[in-house]
Structure 1
Amino acid sequence: MKRFPMMLQLMLILICVMAIPTAILTWYSGTQIVGYSESAIAETSLAGLNANRELNENALSNLAQDAVQLAATNIFDRLRGFQTYSELNSDYSDISSALKVLNELASLNHRVDGVYSTYFLLDGADYVVSTDQGITTLDRYEQVAWMEQALDGRRGIAGVWFPRRLESGLQVVSYVLPLNRLSTTTRGTIVVNLREKQIANYLNSSEPGSEGYMLLSSDGTIISHHDKSLLLSDGNKQPFIRQILSKPVKEGYAYHTLNGERLLYTWSRSEQLGWWNINIYSMDQLMTKTYNLQRSIIFITAIIIFAGTILAVLLATWLSQPLRKLVRTMRERTGLGTPGNNELAFLESAFRRMQEEEEGLHSLLQEREQDTRSLSIHQLLRGEVKKQIAEMFPERYYTIAVVSIDRYRRYVSKNNPETRSYNRYLLLSKCESLFPANIHARGIYQGEGNFVFVMNYVQDEGVMSGLKDTLVRIRDAALDLLGHSVTTGVSSQTEFSELIPERVAEAAEAIKQRMIKGSGCIFYWQEESERSKKYMYPTNSERRIVNFLERADLDSILGELNSIRLDIISDESISHDNILFIYNQMIGVTIKHLRENNISTSRIFAGRGNIYSAIAALDTLDELENYLRDFFKDIISHLERNTGEANHGDRIIRYLEENFCKEIVFEEMAKEIGISYSYMRKIVYELTGKSLIDYTNHLRIEKAKQLLAESNMTITQIASEVGYYNVQSFNRFFRKYEGMPPSSYKTSRAKTS
């Protein structure tokens, strides 16, 4: 570039400034159009699949209901006394009874389209009454041994659907319904054979681009398929089907490429039958119009770039003239550069010297930073052993101590960030000074109220005794400095600095003992026994608590909580994870019970935040029990609350949750609900623990957090989306509720993911 005149370079810059953003914008818009089109097509295709699935399920359900209704009419009692075909043919009246049964079966055939045949088989009889062959002996009819396989694993008294191929080669789906013992004493089975092609008529999509469909049973057997040669084969062997069947979601879509063709797979699982409905579409055919539009946009962009290039040449000639004159004057007066260099070469030479000086300073600062003690310790804890480590820790043995602030959330709520930062500095300085001269110790702060101390020493009884005494003094010093107790976890000893990260994990694991033994203690890591790996769970107490909850018996619930606590204390081998599992499960069962009884949990626990996160942050068993006691008190209080007020509360909370992104006039909202504004504020505070305005802002900030973590929207767009009409208000409220600006929260979430 140094050989080209400045005017030419400026012209190229102008062209790039114009052409590159235009090209990027074209590419981005085209990509977005394609993406949105694909998403819309996929959603539409999935909706069509669900409609076809529901149509098929309704037809099958109607047929099954007709069969059940026929079974309940006692029409089959007429055949109960005839076990053999010869007995049935012995008298005309007996034949007449059988013909009435045959007429009812024939009537059942005509109630739903596509029924091939229906027959009834009396248990132990040697004949069958069928609509396709009339009344005939079993040896002249198709085999019925398949019924055992069809009824294997049957639950309840309902019938089952079973895909099979008749001896004639016809593919059917048979509905097998044994007579109900509750409605008749006659033992027998009704079988309705529905043609597979009728199901195919329901499921076959007429949408453009459709490549086919398939209906699979819960185990992957193909029940219906556009390729009839694959019927009753293993659907897992088909391309990408195993991936779909292994997904936990009951419906969705995915894109796959097969033989160079991009295909859309949509699937939906029937909750009623457990069958998988799958449609396949060719995206190349569905996206034809979109691709044509994309090509048109590219053509228009090319024309714009060409016109912009001509304009750039004119602008470069006009803009470069005064600048070239200035550079020539500076070169003559300063003597920099050579006669062969152009104007930009002169500027480059001058700025290069500034850059070299800046890089030298930056390199010096970086080397200084690498030499700091804190960085070295952080590297050591990550298992990165540097040369500086040998100088800081010259002795042979290492032990790690982790000092954790008890009830850290309470500590954070009582101290602002500046105070906490100052306390950390004081604590690290004070604790390092408490170690004796024969122990080389360095500490760092690792976040979430945890301080890590690396202790290096020569193994000796006096040294070990001094180490234990020092840890006690550190605990007491932390209590004085922070006004808050701390729990210390101490790892086992190691000779290898490479194993330091494992020792940090041991010390952190030892701290978990405060769950049972209480906070403010010093715990030493011990190898976990085999017995402690076994989990206990108070199943009987869980059932009793649910029963007491139905009676709103708070005293009995609190008694059961105390009983659970005593059981935990009495089990010496119980682990920290087991305890959290017990209480998390107890809360989960309670919430499930409330929701099954249509009780609004959002109203009961509004203001509590994430219950499971709150439990995980608790340090001791006493705190867990107190939390659970308050948890059930809130539930009982809600259940005993006046029904009318509860109805108003539901309407208020529902209104706020649906309209918090809009501008809400609270006085008009109160009139719409039919209560006064002051009474509405009282209800919201009792339900959520927050004022009306605070709860509205809480909903907005929670929605903003979700958008920051899951979308690519800008801060301004998110502020408008959640109901703030300027970014300043959004930033102020976000910092108030989350303790950080939205940009920092988005950055932290990106690093976490």
Structure 2
Amino acid sequence: MFRFNRYFTKMIVFTIGASTLPIILLGLFFYMKTSGTIQQKVNDGNMLVLEQTRLRVEQVLGALDLQIERLSDNPYVTEALDSGLAPSGFILVQNVLKSMSQVLTFDVGIRDVHLIDLNRGTILNSGGLNRLSDAESSKVAEYLRMNRTKFWVAERNSMLRGRSGDNNFTINLVKIFPPFTEKPGGMLIIEIPAAQLRNFLAKNNTLGEVMIMDESYHVLASQNQRMEANSQMLEAVADKLHGTSGESGLYETSFGEEQVGVAFQRSAFNGWAYISVIPIDLIRFESRRTGWIILATCVVMLLAAVIVSLAGSQRMYMPVLRLYQSLFAQQGKVSGRIDEFHMIHEGFARMRSDQVQMADQLRNHARQLEEYYVMKLVRGEMKPTQLGEKMSFFDAGAQKWKHLAAIAIHIDTLEGTRYSERDSELLLFAVSNMVGELIPKHARLLPVVVDASQVTVIFDDPESPDDFRTYLYSLAKRVQDEVEHYLSLRVSIGISRPYDGLAEANRAYKEAMDALKYRVLYGQKTILRIDDVQPAQSVATQYPKELERHIFDAIKMADREKVQQLTDAFFGEISGQFHNYNDYQIAMTRFFVNLIRLLQESGISHLKPLGCDPPLLEQLHALSSVEETRSWFKQRIVDPMVSVFEEQRKSRHRTISQEVVQMIEDNYDTDISLESCSNLLNYHPSYISKVLRQELGISFSDYLMQYRLGKAKRMLEETDMKISEIAERLRYNNSQNFIRSFRKQEGMTPGQYRDEYINKHYKKALKS
């Protein structure tokens, strides 16, 4: 009798799982596949029934739609609306009723046809010719407010007198004509009892109960009247359809304890919804039966797999059991469950784990401590007296260096790369690791990251300082190329002067960082030696004040093209003169401050960039090239300033043009002129003329002439003033000049204009 030890238990579980899992998965796959296929067939059948029902209904309603179009174009109907229906027009009434009766013979159970004269408030139907009642007038007004010329609508009551109060809906086809007019003259209404729609529903549909609902989700007809009485079910279906925007679809819902599947289609013809409701149990009946068959088959196969797994596991465990008994026979019987392989492996695994853990801890602590000392060294925080005891830690006791120097590496930009700002720290550590691999360990200290730059102290024993400088440059170039090749990053590298001894590491670090600052003048992806960028003699520079003044004038004039040209020239002058980083930063700061002062002196304090975070001055000092600085000034400062001055200029022009127009309207009957207006507004006449042409598209004299002629027409229409009096009133030299100007503008003389106006109003008075 076998003990179920851990290994034996695992073997049994594995063999049973390996043999039964495929059976379970295969059974689930077949069940889901067959269930989905069966349910899809039921759903497709439902949708097909709905499609056939909708087509039958819309075929009949479409034919009825054509009938009402023909009836609206009937000459008798047109004549009746034009001349009006009255008992005296007996023949016309009979002809109209005869035309309407042809629609009544249409085999859809039409209840009645109503012809409504909207102008006279009468209705003609099978009940005769009557005046519209208040209820009928209200319903007609409601139809008119729908702003549609033809539509279907379901109503609770019939417009046929004596038939109100019917519990069934009446379906009205409403036609308003003539169409597309502000005041239509007639309305045709064809009434169909909603119960007639039941004739178009399938009689023996086993897939579900079919219903037809209008746009407001009222039941117009159903296959089974029991469905109409189930208000809870209808309310649940209507609520679900309200939240569904598709033209057709399938969903499941429940009301009470009953769950149903609902298929629906919306008609593009009249907005009705065709719905089929089928109980979920009916949909899933075949699925469950198939599931039971698959389950029974799987159970039989599972039992067979378990029996085979148990027998096979016992046979496979026999060699392991004999090996364990032979190894531990002298220890006697071990109580409880055992894991044979685990007992053998446990001791070795524990020893190896302890050894690896201790080695990792030692390496990590040593690296962290070395990095800490290097950081203190380059920052100048390590006293000279401490260097002696730390030399062994720097692996420098056996080295007799003659020279050391520092290189500082800075990532130029992450824009246009696959990285983002949050990756900058990881990228610096990656660069630090690459430096550690490219530079031999015996020729450097541990590479560290200091203040967003990677710093490495390098030493050598060259024959001359120039050889050491060449060696440093070659190392920097190699690092720069490898970083670009593997990380696709552009970096700039600063190199310090050579120094003797570790005590000068802090000075070398500062010089390397200072050299990096000059990349703003020399561009990105540069290698900068402090000896090259800080010459012994300084060169006198002169700030381009004249160019700056021209830039400010162009900004005030909102001349974008000129601003662009002058700005390019300004930065070209700066980059050509200022080779010292500090002088360059002072020049850029001066330009920035002068731009802000221009804003403040112009009374503008709401420019959006002034509220940036971080502040603009910090952004300016963080830029790494002249081109980047020029682009930053253009986008963040200059272009927004030009837009503000341009808006001010446009606003000022609009104000001037409005004041001139107001002066003309107030003083048109005086000797007003462009010069008099310019004196009052304190602007030059040519400037005012230019503003008027820009804002109004017309000159001062033309606008004055048009306004005076407009006033002349009103005087000719509303007063009996003589032509000469009007000419004198409008400040013309003589009446002939006035007549010529009027004829040129209107194509007729003032007298002809007055006669034509009088005749027109006389004829209009006669018609009314």
Could you tell me the TM-score, scaled by structure 2's length? 0.45
TM-score, reference length from structure 1: 0.46
**Structure with the greater alpha carbon radius of gyration:** 2
